[in-house]
Structure 1
Amino acid sequence: MAPSSRNLVVWLHVVTSVGWMSQALALLALTFHGWVTGDRGAYAMADLLDNHVLLHLANASILTGIMLSAMTRWGFFRYWWVLTKFVITLSQLYVAIFLLSPRLTELAEGRRDSDPALIAGTLLMASAIAFQAWLSVAKPWRRTPWAEARFDVPAPTRWATGLTLTAPVLDYLLAEVVLGHAAPLFATLTVVGYPVWRGVRLARRVPT
């Protein structure tokens, strides 16, 4: 991967990851304030940030992280620290989509009185993102047993890098301007389409 292109993707990944963590901390402060004071406005503000800011930052962070693994020698299953980040990310998606966000919406709409579990879950989310940042910097542990001795990575095409950088913007516009709700269509097409393209490219290299 060309250094300039890689730097842009890394930059976007860092910015969106830090933004994701900062919004998780903002949600923590607002939900704690609402729990202590009973102020419904705090829950409404937290719900607004969750649906219109945090969600988009999280999608962009996940997209760029996956694509950095796919487009570089790190891969998905070659290093324990990368695999750990991947497992944590999937866990965060499940907890955020199916547990935290619905509870926050219920609090904002007055259908739930209080929920200390939401505070704990939000704190865990911010802590998990911070731990993932440490993994990216320290890169601890050895390679996994599934790491091939030789690992060829085709040079990413301009469309792959370009779509990685523009998909978050396109998904944001699709959600906020057209649909009115989150729909990471372009991110999904990117993270699915590129590995398929790479697999076909590598298969053509295998001698018959």
Structure 2
Amino acid sequence: MVHLLFVVMWIGGAIALTIVLFSVHPETGDGLYMKSRIIQIIDDFIIIPGAMGNLLIGIIYGVWTRFGFFKFRWMIVKWILTVAQILFGTFFLGPWVNENVKIADELGKAAFSNDTFQHNLEMNAIWGTVQLLLLLFVLVVSVQKPWKNS
């Protein structure tokens, strides 16, 4: 059951973050900072714990259940995508989010026209959406367990 909590945290957090990215359009510097900070809070306190929890539970299941790590093709796909998404989030998405909070805090309304801020926002919108779609794909793979044994 704990595994499902982490799944809901990761996917639900990604959905919430995507909704904020695409539906919140602040007009003030304070509003821009709040949007950036909300995204950071969702990432730090929902998405990251959900992802790390899934990774930890996956390792536990891999060691102590019949599923193992590489016994089934669907499991291999899940492992590859899970690790790739965690690494991409750690080294790209997270730093873009964190940098935007700093820029919005320092520049206020001027962050609207800051090239780095806009680039980070665009990258998070594009690649955050890709991450969400991949998470949903992993969910489908987890439920359907397609492909035959490797």
Q: For residue 31 of structure 1, report the CA deviation from its aligned partner.
A: 2.3
State TM-score, norm by structure 1: 0.59
Q: Do the aligned partners of 1:17 and 1:129 also contact (CA within 8 Å) in 2?
A: no
Give the gaps of 5 or more residues in structure 2.
105-115
Quick one: which amino acid aligns to residue 124 of structure 2?
A: L
Among 44, 53, 57, the alignment partner of 2:50 is 57
2:148 paired with 1:142: yes
Report 1:8-87 matches (<5 A): 11-33=1-23, 36-37=25-26, 39-87=32-80
- Percent of residue pairs bearing the same amino acid type: 23
Quick one: which amino acid aligns to residue 91 of structure 2?
A: F
Give the CA RMSD over aligned residues. 1.6
Q: Larger relative CO (CA 8 A, sep 6+): 1 or 2?
A: 2
Q: For residue 97 of structure 1, report the CA deviation from its aligned partner.
A: 0.3
Q: Do the aligned partners of 1:25 and 1:122 also contact (CA within 8 Å) in 2?
A: no
Bigger radius of gyration? 1
Q: Do the aligned partners of 2:70 and 2:76 also contact (CA within 8 Å) in 1?
A: yes
| Structure 1 stretch displaced more, 13-22 or 122-131 | 122-131
State the number of aligned residues.
Answer: 133
Report 1:1-208 matches (<5 A): 11-33=1-23, 36-37=25-26, 39-110=32-103, 112-114=116-118, 115-144=121-150
Give the gaps of 5 or more residues in structure 1.
1-10, 145-208
Aligned-partner SS, 1:60: helix
Q: Of Structure 1 and Structure 2, which has the larger fraction of its residues in helix?
A: 2
